[in-house]
Every structure is written in C-alpha cells, then in structure tokens.
Amino acid sequence: MENENEFTGADILLKALKDQEVDTIFGYPGGAVLPIYDAIFGQNFLKHVLVRQEAGAVHAAEGYARSSGKVGVLLVTSGPGVTNVVTGLTDALMDSIPIVCISGQVPSHLIGTDAFQECDTTGITRPCTKHNYLVKDVNKLSETIHEAFKIASSGRPGPVLIDIPKDVQFAKSKYIPKKDISFKEHRIKAGSKNVDKSFVQELVNHIKKSERPIFYVGGGCLNSGPQASQELIKLVNKTNIPITTTLHGLGCFPGEDKSSLGMLGMHGNYEANLAMNKCDLMINVGARFDDRVTGRLDAFSPDSVKFHIDIDQSSINKNVKVNFHTNTDITLTLKEINSFIESNNIELEKKDYTNWWGQINDWRKKECLHYEQGDEIIKPQHAISRLYDLTSHKDTFITTEVGQHQMWAAQYYKFSKPNRWITSGGLGTMGFGMPAAVGAQMANPDSLVIDIAGEASFLMNIQEIATAVQYKLPIKIFILNNEYMGMVRQWQELLHGSRYSESYVDALPDFKKLAESFNAVGVRAKNISELDDAINEMVSIDRPVIADIWVDKKENCFPMIPSGAAHHEMLLSKYDKENPENQEKGKVLV
Amino acid sequence: MSSTSVYPTPINAFKQSKRSVLSIIVDNEPGILARIVGLFSGRGYNIEALNVTVVDIKNNLSRITIETLGEEKVISQIIAQLEKLVPVHSATNLANLSESYEAEICLVKIEFDNNEQDQKILNFADIYRSRTVQKRQNIVVYEISGTSERINKFLDDLNTIGGIKVELVRSGPIGLGI
Ligand SMILES: Cc1ncc(C[n+]2csc(CCOP(=O)(O)OP(=O)(O)O)c2C)c(N)n1
Ligand SMILES: [Mg+2]
C-alpha cells in the first residue's frame, strides 16, 4: 500500500532544497540523475539553469554564492558529469566558497563493476571538497543533505558533494525537515562563539604602543558576512591605521578611502607592500599568508608583532609564525575590539601616526599604478580605469578570468562594498569568470554584471554564452584582447629570456561575429577613440554583450614582486631589473 | 613521558624532525581512513606506522594511531588539518601529554636448522619475555609486545644469530594518554 508520508529519494532531495531556501540550481542532465530531473519537472519553487558544460555549473554556483552570501547549488550526472566539476570544486575549496554539488551515481548494485558512466566520485572528489558523501540508504538522505548545507556554510566555508545512486533516488522514505535535525557539533566545526577577551586586550595595548601599525585583510572578512566589513570600517576610522587587502579582501573596505593602501602582494601597490615590510604591528583579519602575498618568507615583515584572526585553526602559524591569534569569528572579534575601545574610553584618535602616514605618503608619491596612455593603442590599464569611471555609479558586480587582465582589474577597479568582486584567487582558474558572471546575474537580476576577461581564458568556457542568452542574463564580457596569454608572456619576458614559447593565442575567433552567432551582441574598440563608446554601448544594451577591446599586446603588469623576491624588491616598470640571484631562485617557484 | 625512537633519522633532510605518535578519534564511517591517509599523502607528510580499529561500538567510534616524523611546526599543522576533517572528533600528539603509554605487538616466525641456533633464540626470547605461539621441529613463532624500541632491540638481537630466517609482522605503536 502507498504510504503518503513516504517520498522518493528524488522528491526528498527537492523537499530538502526547498527547506534550505534554495531557489536556483545550476545543472546538466544525464542517465544517473533522470529521477531528479523528473522531480524538477513540474515544480515551481526551484529555477534550474541549464549550463552547457558542467564546469559552467560549478563556477556559476560559485559566482552565485559569492555575490549573494548564500550557498550555491549544482546538479550533475555520474562519470563525466562529475569529473567535469573537479576543477571548480578545487577552486571553491581554495577560495572558501560554500557550494553543494549533487551528483548522480550508478545504481548501488552496480557500484564497483565498472558500469557505464561509473566513477569513484567520492574518491576523486575527497581531496577537493570540504566533505563528501555517498548516500547508500534513502533513510539517511534528508539528514545528509541538511548536514551538507550546514558544513558548506559553517566555519571556513567550502564545497560539499553528495553522491546519490540512482536506485536511492527511486527508493522511498520519510522526509525529515531541517528543524528536526540536531547537528553534531564535532562534525560542523563552526568555530568558537566566545570572543577571546585577552586577545582583544592585548591587541588594543599593542595598538596603543605601536608606531607603524597596519591592517592586512583577506577573504575571511568577506566570509564572516557584511557586518564584518561594517565593524572593520568603524575600527579603521577610529584608529586611523592604514589598511591593505588581499585579492579576495577587495571591497571589505572602501577602495577609495584615504586609509586604504589598496591590494598587496605580487602585483600589489608599492605603498602596501612597503608598509607591510616596515610595519611594527600587523593585524591580520582573515587572510592566510599566501605565497602570492608574502613573497620570500624569510624577508616577510621582519620587525612586526603579528596578530591573526582566523576561524580556521590550520591557517594559524602555517606559513608565518604569529605572536597572537584567535579562532573566533571575525565579526564577533572586531565587534568586541570596537566596544572595548569605546567602553574603556581609549582615545586612539590622538595617536594619528603622523610619521607613519608621512612615510606612506612618500611611498604613494611613486604612483606605482601610473601608466602612459598614448593617443592610439589602448593601454589595458586605461581600459579598466574607463570601465570603472563609466560604471561605478551603477550597482556593479565584477567577475574575472585569470591573467594580467585580472590583476589590472584588481588594481584599477575600486570596490566600495563586499561581495562585488568575484575572482579565482587560490587556484587561478582560467574560464572561471564568465560562468561566475552567469551565477552572479542569477542572484542579482537587476545589477550590472561584468566579466573582465582575457581572450585566452574566455575561450575556456565560451559555451556558457548560450546559457546567458537562454536565460536572458545581460552579462557583459569585457575582453582585454592582447592576443597573448599575457601573464605567461610576461613571465617568459622577465624570467625566460623573452622566449615566447606557445603563449601567442593564434587563430582567434572574430569575437563580434561569435557574439552574433550566439544571439548575443558584439561591440569592439580598436583604438583609444573608440573605447568610451564601446563601454557605453556595452552597458546600455540589455542583453549579453561581448566587448572585444584591443589593447597593447606587449604591456606588462606592474608593480611586480617576482617569485622568490621580498616585498621591498618590487619591480615598478620594465626599466627595473631584477636581482639576478633572485631570478634564478624564483624561476623554480610558481 | 613518551618513549624515544630508535629509528634512524635522516638528519640532513629533517633537521628538527621528531617522531610523534598521534591518536585520533573518528566517527567510524566509510572513507574515513582514506580521508586521513589522503591528507598525509596529499600534503607530503610521512606515515611511519598506522593502526585503526573500532573502540566504541555504541557510539560508532574508531581510534586511529599514526606514527609520523616531522618538525614541531609540521606536527601542529598535521593536527590542525586532521581536526578539520568532518568525522574527526579529536587529534592528539601523545608527546604533548604529561603522561602517555605506548605499546606495539609483533609476531615473529623464525626458521632455524641447528640446536645452537635454537638455544640462542630461546635465550633472547626469554630475555625479552616473548610468548611462544607455536613451536615445531625447526620453526618457532613468538609474540612480543612493548614499546617499539623494545621490539626493535629484540629484532636486532635476533639478527646477530647467523643462518636463521625471520619473517615478521608488527602492529605499529598504539598509545593512550592518561
Ligand atoms: C586552466 C588554466 N590553465 C593554465 C593557466 C596558466 N595561465 C595563467 S594566466 C594564463 C594566460 C591567460 O591569458 P588571457 O586569458 O588572455 O589573459 P591575459 O594574461 O592575456 O590578460 C595562463 C595560461 C591557468 N591559470 N589556468
Ligand atoms: Mg590575453
């Protein structure tokens, strides 16, 4: 007899997604997920976005998550469906993005028989997820899905995968709602909710004593939520301490504010890197001392007392030894610092670090982001500057691909709010930006979403233009077209004697015609006189647009701290030459 | 107090490398051992020995003991990475406890062909208080337990006897803090 309290595995999945307030799922069908697609058919709370390749689904889910603060969700079939998302899962793990990936698996009785489209999904994805599951019993399905969402979004966020064999999608069980599930604390690892008061006191004491303090802020601040940014702004304003952010920290603090030194690291600002090198107090808020940031470790900020706030215990003392640390959530900790300063009437304004700011302003006079825009060929830096000037009044989200254009975007586009800047940092995944823009536009239908792209990266997931067209997502792809894998070309020029081995992108398509063939719109700027018009046209069209911006092919991205060099050994222009000893050592690094 | 290692340490490769025994309590679920072993191989850590068994059927818990080599900084990083794994309840470096005990068990099969050898074997077996599991004409199987160091010494002593054939299996160290 049919029991009306029992549902199929596929229906349980949908109920759980509804319970988790998921309204969008990115996916691609196949044999092992047909029961789930059957359940998706004929329901209306969940919008399914059909991508063109599963890699598109996972990056779209990342873009969705980053731009909305919610968990991104995707659905793929067994075998090739799931192997196609391995890059994206790794990307989300490196950059701490909460996503849940549902994959179909061959029926339980066929597992281990090399069945058609069988692969060891949990085995393949174990090292590239925060956690993963193979659900063999339909009675465990509800609980597993709810735990997956909890794990993806708690503590340091990350990707979680649930592999569901086809027979489990058909099998029946009761549905257990989220509210009836009691999570096991040791599995969720949400981090401590208790602020470490002694850390806070110690920090405030050091701020009072210090002569040359700096905030070094990373993506953890973003993941702690918008409130973290608010508390950070309050604290910076109160203390007048300079602040630099990592690639992922951009937007946590307004980029145009006078206290902001911009981004630090390999292509960071001169003043930011020198301030890190010379500071006597470093306050790390949710950053992980990544090699792109620290440069040569033995010369990294040698004279500073280091404080580190990070919810991930394994980030503490991993690359750089710190003096004080706390694992409590950033928002809670910053809040406590602010209220400690207020309630103890500590007047930090009096201490305005005049000498320190004088020194920093001297460094600023170098104008490390200066470039010469002639009156013919478009400089890529200028293209981004104009894009910023012509779009910053709008509610804009920027995604990027990977390469020089990404670094120029980070340098010349300024962000005033968190979650507006979506880029692949840890893994550096070419082909990330366009599907991420699809995801960001799904989450923010009324905003302007622009993928700042390189022509080589764009070709890696170009099929997703069709997704944007199908769902009428008016994303803009702003290509800085230099006909080179520019970042590779730059390293070859600087480190490999200008031997440009395989870095020229030959046989490029005509991007304008390509746009048209997809039923999108193409615009082009070949020289400086056409740039503003192309940008304005791109922005004004309410459809997906590919803007093909022809830029200087040989331009390099500066400042640059070559691998193996220290912060103060930065190259500012092509006229700076690298210390040959560092060059040999750096060549073997990444 | 924990026992020190007699394993030769590649001094140049790991200047500060120390032997550590890690005790890890986990949910006994599919894939947990793969997660842990994968963490070690993926991050380039050493596993010198590994042991795993269910220790609490009611709560479905297993205890995994891993002997590893590394500088203090690396060991703390291993612990922090282990504790990030979802099914892991706790990971402890026994060396950091004020009091902990270690033991290992070894089965050793010795083939010999004359009485002189037999006498020497018997003698060592007696000194190390190993238990005879089986004795045949010219084959004997012993069980010896204790710290890894003690077992190493026993095996070293056996090796001084010429002409015998030794085959053995070791559990790897297990340990418990108090
Ligand atoms: C999937 C992938 N393969 C290779 C690389 C190595 N890589 C880094 S930047 C780059 C060139 C990118 O070229 P393009 O998209 O045109 O950007 P540009 O540097 O010219 O702005 C390459 C090949 C990568 N980051 N990702
Ligand atoms: Mg290029």
Asked, for residue A573, whether it belongs to a domain, the answer is no
Integer Cα distance of A531 and B127 in angstroms: 89
The response to whether residue A454 sits with its C-beta less than 6 Å from ligand 1 reads yes
Give the gap in angstroms from C-alpha B107 to the nearest C-alpha of chain A. 33
Q: For the residues of B45-107, what is the DSSP string, one character each? A: ---SEEEEEEEETTTTEEEEEEEEEE-HHHHHHHHHHHHHSTTEEEEEEGGGSSSEEEEEEEE
From residue A193, how far is each of A311, A329, A330, A336 by CA, in Å?
10, 7, 10, 12
Same domain? A157 vs A208: no
pLDDT of amino acid B7: 41
The response to whether residue A426 sits with its C-beta less than 6 Å from ligand 1 reads no
Same domain? A421 vs A530: yes
pLDDT tens profile B35-55: 999 999 999 999 999 999 999
CATH code of the domain containing A77: 3.40.50.970
Same domain? A130 vs A236: no
Q: Which two tokens stand for residue A232?
A: 């950070």
Residue B25 half-sphere exposure, CB side, CA atoms within 13 Å?
A: 14
Residues 127-166 of A with CB under 8 A from B: 127, 130-132, 134, 151
Integer Cα distance of B87 and A147 in angstroms: 12
Closest ligand to Cα A550: 2
Q: Which residues in chain A have Cβ-Cβ distances shorter than 8 Å to B86?
A: 130-131, 151, 187, 189
Task: Select from B34, B42, B81 the Cβ nearest to the Cβ of A314.
Answer: B81
Same domain? A453 vs A329: no
Cα–chain center distance at A538: 24
From residue B86, how far is each of A94, A179, A341, A459, B127 by CA, in Å?
17, 21, 37, 37, 46
CB pairs < 8 Å spanning A and B: 39
Kindly give the distance from the C-alpha atom of residue A438 to the centroid of ligand 1, in angstroms, as a whole number: 20
Give the gap in angstroms from C-alpha B7 to the nearest C-alpha of chain A. 27
Decide if A93 touches B, using CB distance below 8 A. Answer: no
pLDDT of amino acid A191: 87
Q: Which residues in chain B have Cβ-Cβ distances shorter than 8 Å to A143?
A: none
Same domain? A107 vs A140: yes
Integer Cα distance of A276 and A302 in angstroms: 9
CATH of domain B10-96: 3.30.70.260
Per-residue pLDDT of chain A (590 residues; tens, 9 = 90+): 567 899 999 999 999 999 999 999 999 999 999 999 999 998 999 999 999 999 999 999 999 999 999 999 999 999 999 999 999 999 999 999 999 999 999 999 999 999 999 999 999 999 999 999 999 999 999 999 999 999 999 999 999 999 999 999 999 999 999 999 999 999 999 988 899 999 999 999 999 999 999 999 999 999 999 999 999 999 999 999 999 999 999 999 999 999 999 999 999 999 999 999 999 999 999 999 999 999 999 999 999 999 999 999 999 999 999 999 999 999 999 999 999 999 998 888 668 899 999 999 999 999 999 999 999 999 999 999 999 999 999 999 999 999 999 999 999 999 999 999 999 999 999 999 999 999 999 999 999 999 999 999 999 999 999 999 999 999 999 999 999 999 999 999 999 999 999 999 999 999 999 999 999 999 999 999 999 999 999 999 999 999 999 999 999 999 999 988 988 889 998 888 777 777 777 778 88
Asked, for residue A570, whether it belongs to a domain, the answer is no
Nearest ligand 1 atom, CA A453: 15
Task: Select from B35, B77, B85 the Cβ nearest to the Cβ of A318.
Answer: B77
Same domain? A254 vs A108: no
CA-proximal residue: ligand 1, atom 5 (nearest): A430
Decide if A192 touches B, using CB distance below 8 A. Answer: no
From residue A73, how far is each of A177, A227, A419 by CA, in Å?
18, 24, 18
The response to whether residue A479 sits with its C-beta less than 6 Å from ligand 1 reads no
Q: Which residues in chain B have Cβ-Cβ distances shorter than 8 Å to A151?
A: 86
Q: Which residues contact B16 (CB under 8 A, 6 or more apart)?
A: B71, B72
Same domain? A445 vs A534: yes
Phi, psi of B6 (to 5 degrees): -105, 0
Same domain? A292 vs A332: yes
Q: Which residues contact A374 (CB under 8 A, 6 or more apart)?
A: A528
Give the gap in angstroms from C-alpha B35 to the nearest C-alpha of chain A. 7
pLDDT tens profile B87-113: 999 999 999 999 999 999 999 999 999
Integer Cα distance of A419 and A408 in angstroms: 19
Q: Indicate if the pLDDT at residue B15 is higher than 70.
A: no
CA nearest A156 in B: which residue?
A: B84
Integer Cα distance of B131 and A229 in angstroms: 67
Cis (ω within 30 of 0) for the bond into A127? no
Asked, for residue A169, whether it belongs to a domain, the answer is yes
pLDDT of amino acid A192: 86
Asked, for residue A572, whether it belongs to a domain, the answer is no
- Annotated active-site positions of A, please? 54, 116-117, 166, 487
Asked, for residue A120, whether it belongs to a domain, the answer is yes
Same domain? A118 vs A207: no
Give the gap in angstroms from C-alpha B160 to the nearest C-alpha of chain A. 45
**Three-state SS letters, A434-485:** HHHHHHHHHHCCCCEEEEEEEHHHHHHHHHHHHHHHHCCCCCEEEEEECCEC
For A205, other C-beta atoms within 10 Å of its C-beta total 11
* Interface contact flag, B38 A126, Cβ < 8 Å: yes
Name the average pLDDT for chain B: 92
CA nearest B74 in A: which residue?
A: A318
- CB of A214 closer than 8 Å to CB of A390: no
Q: Which residues in chain A have Cβ-Cβ distances shorter than 8 Å to B81?
A: 314
The response to whether residue A485 sits with its C-beta less than 6 Å from ligand 1 reads yes
pLDDT of amino acid A15: 98
User: With 0-12 CB in 10 A as exposed, 13-18 as middle and 19+ as buried, what is A495?
Assistant: middle
From residue A545, how far is each of A133, A459, A478, A479, A515 by CA, in Å?
39, 15, 8, 11, 7
* Interface contact flag, B87 A187, Cβ < 8 Å: yes
Integer Cα distance of A451 and A423 in angstroms: 10
pLDDT band at B11 (very low <50, low <70, confident <90, very high): very low
Task: Select from B38, B83, B86 the Cβ nearest to the Cβ of A151.
Answer: B86
Asked, for residue A133, whether it belongs to a domain, the answer is yes
The response to whether residue A455 sits with its C-beta less than 6 Å from ligand 1 reads yes
Number of domains in chain A: 3
User: For the whole model, what pTM was predicted?
Assistant: 0.96
Task: Select from B34, B73, B86 the Cβ nearest to the Cβ of A187.
Answer: B86
Same domain? A148 vs A270: no
Q: Which two tokens stand for residue A470?
A: 């199908």
Q: What is the ipTM of this complex?
A: 0.94
pLDDT of amino acid A492: 96
Kindly give the distance from the C-alpha atom of residue A414 to the centroid of ligand 2, in angstroms, as a whole number: 22
* B101-177 matches B10-96 in CATH topology: yes
Which of A124, A132, A134, A313 to mutate to test binding with chain B, by most B CBs within 10 Å of its CB? A313
Please state the CATH superfamily assignment of the domain spanning residues B101-177 in this structure: ACT-like. Chain A, domain 2 (3.30.70.1150)
- CB of A462 closer than 8 Å to CB of A434: yes
Same domain? A291 vs A246: yes
Same domain? A439 vs A291: no
CATH code of the domain containing A282: 3.40.50.1220
Give the gap in angstroms from C-alpha B127 to the nearest C-alpha of chain A. 46
Q: Could you tell me the residue ranges of all domains in chain B? A: 10-96, 101-177
| N-to-C CA span, chain B | 11
Strands B61-70 and B49-56: antiparallel
Q: Which residues in chain B have Cβ-Cβ distances shorter than 8 Å to A187?
A: 27, 86-87
Asked, for residue A183, whether it belongs to a domain, the answer is no
Residues 355-384 of A with CB under 8 A from B: none
- CB of B107 closer than 8 Å to CB of B141: yes
List the domain range (segments joined by +) for residue A429: 380-550
* Interface contact flag, B34 A123, Cβ < 8 Å: yes
Decide if A496 touches B, using CB distance below 8 A. Answer: no
The response to whether residue A484 sits with its C-beta less than 6 Å from ligand 1 reads yes
Q: Which residues in chain A have Cβ-Cβ distances shorter than 8 Å to B30?
A: 134
pLDDT tens profile A436-445: 999 999 999 9
Asked, for residue A433, whether it belongs to a domain, the answer is yes
Task: Select from B27, B77, B89 the Cβ nearest to the Cβ of A314.
Answer: B77
* Interface contact flag, B83 A313, Cβ < 8 Å: yes
